[in-house]
Amino acid sequence: MPSRGLTIRSQGHSTPRDIRSNHDNRELYVQICTPGPDGAIHWMIAMRYPGSDRCTRLHSTGCIGDRRLDIEHGKRFDSRSVEHTHFLGKICERDSTIVEREARKIPLQSCQLWACYLILRLERRGLLEKGSYNHYMHCYEHILDEDYGPGHDGLCPIHGH
């Protein structure tokens, strides 16, 4: 008899993963904030349980020379500072630690580039659908140096250094 539970379509995992309840999976989003007084538009990755009003925010903050990675748990998902929220995909609960681990591997840089590189790292781990990185990477202009962070051999797989 087939399972009545929801299933997530295979996204590169070696085995199919069943979604058993809302607490067995998380949803990933890109959140784009209202432009600040200087015109800067901040991007964050948000991870939450389906339907929850709270999330974990992962984002690069600060200015050139004074950047930091913020991983903030228990933040309001529908914050007034967020202008747009875009669904990226669902992951299993156990993969939420992979999201945070991959976030820590990315060198600190503009929040938009940092968010795009986290999306790319999650694509390459099979946690997000291919094409997400290309969509978000090419939806705005950027002129800053890019750095995806180390690959398995310690080199940036995009730039080779």
What tens digit of pLDDT does each residue of 126-156 get?
999 999 999 999 887 664 555 555 555 555 5
Residue 98: pLDDT over 90: yes
Residue 160 lies in a domain: no
Exposed (0-12), middle (13-18) or buried (19+): which is 1, by Cβ within 10 Å? exposed
Exposed (0-12), middle (13-18) or buried (19+): which is 97, by Cβ within 10 Å? exposed
Q: Which domain holds residue 57?
A: 21-137
Residue 13 phi/psi, 5-degree rounding, is -75, 150
How many whole angstroms separate alpha carbon 136 and alpha carbon 43? 11
The whole-number pLDDT of residue 17 equals 45
Tokens of residue 37, six digits: 């007084």
The whole-number pLDDT of residue 48 equals 98
Residue 123 lies in a domain: yes
Q: How many domains does the chain have?
A: 1
Residue 95 lies in a domain: yes
Residue 35 lies in a domain: yes
The whole-number pLDDT of residue 107 equals 92
Which stretch of 2-16, 56-70, 133-147 has the lowest confidence by average pLDDT? 2-16
Which residues sit opposite 6 in a β-bridge?
19
Is the model more confident about 123 or about 139?
Answer: 123
Residue 75 lies in a domain: yes
Residue 13: pLDDT over 50: no
